[in-house]
Amino acid sequence: MDKQERKALVAECRTSGMTAKAWCKVKDINYHSYLSWATKLNKEVQLDPPQWAHVMMTTEQHLPDEVKLTCGKWTVSVET
């Protein structure tokens, strides 16, 4: 299994909503092998320098002076 396949499997496990141990059992993957792959990938990500994201300002929006939350017969109101 090559690096890209291992990376895809780790990503699939992380987005599955299952624990790694349960996911490995369902996929018939050795749990300790999976831990090794995930650890190596985590170390690689930590070595990548952080990058700046481009942020674009939009026009200011007017927010309401009050927020209401209704649940059943109860209403909670918060003034901002």
Residue ranges of domains in the chain: 3-47
The closest alpha carbon to 3, from 31, 44, 57, 32, belongs to 44
Q: What is the CA radius of gyration of the chain?
A: 23
Give the per-residue pLDDT at 24: 97
The closest alpha carbon to 23, from 38, 12, 37, 7, belongs to 12
Q: At what angle do helices 31-47 and 20-27 cross, to 10 degrees?
A: 120
Query: pLDDT tens across 17-47, in order?
Result: 999 999 999 999 999 999 999 999 998 887 7
Global confidence as pTM:
0.57
Give the per-residue pLDDT at 14: 95
Confidence of residue 15 (pLDDT cuts 50, 70, 90): very high
Give the per-residue pLDDT at 56: 87
Beta bridge partners of 66: 79
DSSP codes of every residue in 16-30 = SSS-HHHHHHHHT--
